[in-house]
Structure formats: structure tokens, C-alpha cells
A and B are shown apart, each in its own frame.
Chain A
Amino acid sequence: MQIYLPIADLPVNVFLVLGMGLAVGYISGMFGIGGGFLMTPLLIFIGISPAVAVATVSSHIAASSFTGAISYWRKRALDIALAMMLLSAGIVGTATGVWLFTELRALDQLDLMIGLSYVTLLTIVGGMMIYESVRAVMRTRRGMPATLRRPGSHTWLHGLPFKLRFKRSKIYVSAIPVWAIGFVIGFVGAIMGIGGGFLLVPMLIYFLRVPTATVIGTSMVLTLITMASATVMHAATNHLVDAVLALILMIGGVIGAQFGARTGQKMRGERLRLLLGLLVFAVGLRFAYALVVQPDDLFSLRYVRGG
């Protein structure tokens, strides 16, 4: 069944888009990520212009992460205090990112910059996650606890001043790394057109030692707020949010996220991290492949303006 999208200006198959929403929603619910780094390339692949894809995906992520956040809230598996702390720095990061985005676009090399940042960030983060989680899986195989909570696991980050206690996550850390992480997520999200959940989750785990139990719910709260405001900003400035496309993606996304969240909570933390690491790494490789292999067509068209 075909339906015409009013802003994207092209017809798409409803069931294809619904299926994409379901699949990405499932993954996002399972890992507590927005899924923007998967959904945006998928939409571009079916012919939607990158600008419309990025703008519309933000509203889809908002819906998915809201339903995910509610389900984690019911299980008391999120840390509102930590999320608000991250958000305060995230807003500053987003504003900085939007400014740099505009500067890069003027140089006409934005596509390349986005491609390179995807490759660098995704392969490094994915690689680190795979390495860490494989070691954790091996440890459990040998009958040892998966995560070692020994005094040495406290890094120099824990020696910084302005210490805050986050009761729900049972951590006691300096505000400086929390703000730094919030800033980086907001900044990278604006540059790459992603929510940044797949970066936030490992950062919270590795740098702040947030327990796996609360990390996903907390990440979802942050993603929800940033993506809902991104939707409003995109609509107000660029007029590129396609509400019809967003609606189809959302319906698929929220259903998928429900099932994903259940699967995610049944799985062991290190297994979950290994899977997410593999996924992130694979997407990174896909972007690297696109940069290195000779494209089918050396020429491409870009719409400049009407008239």
C-alpha cells in the first residue's frame, strides 16, 4: 500500500516504513538507544532526502524513547537526577553543534565530515564495547563475576571535586565528568543528526560506573527531551519534519520498543553490550565502506533552490 508523504514529496510503501519503525524500535528499546544512527541511513536509502530524514527521525526517536522511559520508570530503573544533570550541559553542547554544522555546510563538505565522524566514532566506540564485553563474557565463563568491583576500578575521574551523590544509580561522582559527557552528547548529536544514546550508554557505564540497571532508563529520559526539542526546532527553522512519515515510524517504533525493552531486561548486561558493540561497529564499517569503495556513480545532484 503506497502513501504520499507531504513534506518528503514522494510516495512510500506503508508496510515497508512500518517494518523499519518496528525493527529500529525493537533495537532501541533493547539497548536504550534512540536508533537514529540506524533509522536516518535507512530512510535515505529508500529515497527520502537526508535533510527530511534527519528532521523526521528526531520525532520518531522522541516517541520510542518516551514509551521506553515509561516502561523503565515503572520498574524504577531510571535516574531522573542524573538525567537532568546531563541535560543541563547537553543543551549547551547542542547549541555549539548547530553552530559548527552551519559553518561546515557553508564549506560544502558537510557530507564528508558526517561520513568521517560516523566512521571514527562508531568503529572506536563499537570496538571498545566489543573488547570490554568479550572479556566480561569470558570471565563469567570461567565462573568469575562479570564486573569486578574492586577499589582499583575507581579512576582519576572519581578524584575530581564537586562531588554529587546519585542515589538511584548508587554512584558518588564529580559533576565535571557528568557535564562533560552531557556536552559531548549534545554536540555530537547536533553534528551527526543522532540522539547519541549509543554513545551515552557506554560513556555512563565506563566513565561514571553507572550500573547497567539504571543506565538505559536514564539515557532514554535524556534522549526523549533532546529529540522532542529537536523536532520543534527543525520544524520551526527548516520546515522539514514530515508528520505523516513520523506517524508511521512512531507507530512501528513504539510497538517495537516495547518488545525490545522486555528482551533487553531479560539479557545479561555483558551480552547486551557485546551485541550493541557489534551493531555499532558494523554501522561504522558500512560508512567506511561507502567512503573507500568507488561509488557506482561519481556524480550526484543536490537541490539548491526553486526557481
Chain B
Amino acid sequence: MMRRLAITLAFIVVACGTEPATAERLVVSLSNHRVAVTSNFVGEELVLFGTIEPNPITSPLRPPYDLVITVTGPRQTLRTRRKQRMLGIWVNVDSREFVSVPSYLAVLSNRPVSNIANQDTLRRLQVGLDNFLLPQRIGADVADTVRDDPFRRAFVRLQTQQGLYRESGTAVTFLTPTVFRAAIPMPAAVPTGSYGINVELFAGGILVARTNSALEVIKTGFEQYVADAARDHGLLYGMATALMALLIGWFASVVFARD
């Protein structure tokens, strides 16, 4: 608890310490704030539009700009396990727990983040998959490791293979020097819950403006009904499912007994 508090405090300190100069203001709009997971959900692509406005209105703009959008899904704790050969068979010998990490993490930008700002800035702002804070439980401590840590690399790689983590240097397009458009991919296996969208504007390698948005992934209709029933009325739900099994079994034998 204290550690989590410490991490949160560290976040706040970082956020305050880098409060950007206010010559620019970001205005963004998301195509849809609510992704509904229905029975035919196979993934969706959300579109975020935005403009860069002078703030105050008289201050000059200073293009070219760079834009990084970081989308984070609901937090969850996952364990990364490593196999090793023991007595001829492959056994999980070692594991690390990743504590309260985003279930979905997309870093979308108009060019590769490593070209947008220097490594120190990116690290401090947690921009890019390599720089995002992914705390691991190591013994009694909870801390992020160096980015070359094999467990961290494996974790990011496995999540990327699932389509849940991604970094794209082409997902943001500048339509004019101050108007941009970004595509946020939501894969079919996207976890339900609240998502945070962090939009950061860079000019000449320095963070100049930022804004936030949010979206929600929810189950609707029949899916929601079934999921709720399973969670809230487990016993009844189980008996209904078992009864359904018996009915279908009986029905099939009646249908097939005719011929």
C-alpha cells in the first residue's frame, strides 16, 4: 500500500515538474467514447481528431509538431513465467509478477518516438513502450527494471503478440500542420473497463502541451446479461446451464429416435 502510494506520488511529482509552457492548447475529439462489445464484436477502430490552438489566441504557433497518444486500459496483475529444461522436460522454473500494469497499452505517434525527443525526456514522461513504467514484484520490492530485463521484454512481446500492447510511429497523421487524426485500434480480445487517453504535443523535442480523454469498453445486451448472471447468481446459473445440457441431450435423442 505504501509502495503504491509512493509510485502514485512519484507520478504526481513527475507530472507537476513537467507542466509544459502554455503557448499551445490541444483540442481533441474521439469518434466514440463507448465501445460496446456485442455478440458479433470482432474489434473496432476508434478515431481521434484534434487541432493545435494558440494559447492565448495571439501567441505564435511553432510547427513542426510531434504528437504522441498513449492509451491505457484497466489495470491488472499478470505473472510472466519462464521455462527451463529439467530432467528432460520443460518446467516453469522462474516467474515474475507484473503488478497493476495496463491490460491494454498503445503508444501512437506521427513518427517513431525515439525521433521525437531525447531518451531522458521520453523516460521521464514515460513515452513509448520501452519507457512506460511496468512495476514488477521482485522479492519483497515492487519496482520497474531496466528495459533490457528478460522478463520485461518477454512480457511486452507476449502482450504485443496478443495485440494488446502496441507502438506505432504511423498511427497519427497530420492533415495540416495543426490538425491531426489518429487511429486507435481495439482488438477483439480487448478487456472491458475504463481506458485513459493521454495526448502529448512535442515541439523541437520538448513537451509543449497535453490533454486527456477517456473511453469505456463495455459488454452490452445479452453478453452483459449472461456475464452478470454468472457472476451474481453462480449457483442458479450453473443449474440453468446443467438443465440446458439435459434438455438439449433429451431433445436430440427425441429428434433422432424418429428415423
Q: Contacting A297 at CB < 8 Å: which of B42, B158, B219, B235?
A: B158
Tell me if B202 is interfacial: C-beta within 8 Å of chain A: no
Give A258-307 interface residues, CB cut-off 8 Å to B. 258, 291-295, 297-307
Contacts of B80 in A (CB 8 A): 299-301
B8 at the interface (CB under 8 A from A): no
Distance of A31 from chain B, by nearest CB (Å): 17
Q: Give the complex CA separation of A108 and B81 in angstroms.
A: 10
> CB of B54 within 8 A of chain A?
no
Name the residue in A235, A242, A297, A300 with the highest tally of chain B Cβ atoms < 10 Å from its Cβ: A235
How many A residues touch B, CB cutoff 8 Å? Answer: 63
Contacts of A112 in B (CB 8 A): 89, 91-92
A250 on interface, CB distance cutoff 8 Å: yes
**A63 at the binding interface (Cβ < 8 Å):** yes
- CB contacts (< 8 Å) of B238 on chain A: these are 231-236, 241
B144 at the interface (CB under 8 A from A): no
Contact B83 A300 (CB under 8 A): yes
Given A235-B238, A236-B235, A304-B79, do A254 and B189 touch, yes or no (CB 8 Å)?
no
Measured as residues with beta carbon below 8 angstroms from the partner, the interface class of chain B is 35 or more
By the criterion CB–CB under 8 Å, are B158 and A300 in contact?
yes
Q: Let me know if A214 is at the binding interface, CB within 8 A.
A: no
**Residues of A66-95 whose CB lies within 8 A of B:** 66-67, 70-71, 74
A7, A108, A247, A304: the one within 8 Å of B230 (CB): A7
* Beta-carbon contact of B234 and A295 below 8 Å: no
For the residues of A in contact with B, the DSSP-based class is: helix
Q: Is B10 on the interface with A (CB-CB < 8 A)? A: no
Contact flag A237-B90 (CB < 8 Å), given A71-B253, A258-B256 = no
Asked if B37 lies at the interface with its beta carbon under 8 angstroms from chain A, I say yes
Of the candidates A10, A62, A239, A295, which one forms a contact with B90 in the assembled complex, judged by CB atoms under 8 Å apart?
A: A295
> Out of B40, B154, B189, B250, which one reaches A2, CB within 8 Å?
B40
Q: Give the docked Cα–Cα distance between A255 and B252 (Å).
A: 7
Question: Closest CB-CB distance, B136 to chain A, in whole Å?
Answer: 12
Partner of A66, one of B40, B97, B250: B250
A-contact 0/1 string along B69-112, CB 8 Å cutoff? 00000111111111111001111100101001000000000000
A62's contact among B77, B82, B88, B249, by CB below 8 Å, is which?
A: B249
Question: Assuming the A-B contacts A241-B238, A247-B244, A295-B90, are A307 and B42 also in contact, with contact meaning beta carbons closer than 8 angstroms in the complex?
Answer: no
Write out the residue numbers on chain A whose beta carbons fall within 8 Å of the beta carbon of B250.
66-67, 70
A242 to B188, CA, bound (A): 17
B residues less than 8 Å from A258 (CB atoms): 252-253, 256
Inter-chain contacts of A116 with B (CB < 8 A): 89
Can you report 8 A-B residue pairs in the complex whose CB atoms are below 8 A from each other? Answer: A6-B227, A7-B227, A11-B41, A63-B245, A247-B244, A254-B249, A254-B251, A254-B253
Which 8 residue pairs spanning A and B have beta carbons closest together? A235-B238, A66-B249, A254-B252, A299-B154, A63-B245, A232-B238, A67-B249, A70-B253
